[in-house]
Amino acid sequence: MPLIMKKGIYQLVEEANQIVEEISVDEALSLYEKEGIQFVDLRDIRELNREGRIPGAYHCPRGMLEFWIDPQSPYAKSIFQQELKFVLFCGGGLRSALAGKAAIEMGLSDVVHMHGGYSAWRQADGPISTS
């Protein structure tokens, strides 16, 4: 008998978008390289190696985000202890919605995520690095 899901991924993302602000790629481009703004790349390292990166974005694999945010965690990263506006992105905008919801629920107050993710960034001719 097939498993019947109580909620699917798109419902989870829709619920996350009620909590975390989703910005357009144009809005993200206007924030890029501004003081106090930190882009956070949630993609897997294989995606970064295959598709390139946004220069200056901090790489945090999605599976480690909560561990890196929590100052009590042995894996805590100091970047998440700073007063910055975090612009989260992934490959297409789904993981970043879920990550943004978790980050806000944990206590980060200034978090947004980019609609369409890295794919939208590339289509908009945003700066990328392939090295």
pLDDT for the residue 3: 86
Residue 14's Cα: distance from chain center in Å?
Answer: 15
- Compute how many other C-beta atoms are within 10 angstroms of the C-beta atom of residue 129: 11
Position 126 pLDDT exceeds 90: yes
Q: What residue type is assigned to position 49 of the chain?
A: N
pLDDT for the residue 1: 78
Per CATH, the number for 22-123 is 3.40.250.10
Show me where the domains of the chain are located: 22-123
Q: What are 89-102's pLDDT values in tens digits?
A: 999 999 999 999 99
More confident of the two residues 61 and 130? 61
- Distance CA(72)–CA(76), nearest Å, equals 7
pLDDT for the residue 25: 98
Tell me what the mean pLDDT of segment 108-120 comes to.
97
- Distance CA(38)–CA(113), nearest Å, equals 11
- Average pLDDT in the chain: 96
pLDDT for the residue 106: 97
Position 131 pLDDT exceeds 80: no
Q: What are 44-82's pLDDT values in tens digits?
A: 999 999 999 999 999 999 999 999 999 999 999 999 999
Secondary structure element (H or E) that encloses residue 45, with its range: helix 45-51
Token reading at 33 = 């390289």
94-106 vs 9-16: helix axis angle to the nearest 10? Answer: 50
pLDDT for the residue 115: 97
Query: With left for phi above 0 and alpha for psi between -120 and 50, is residue 36 left, alpha or beta?
Result: left
Position 27 pLDDT exceeds 90: yes
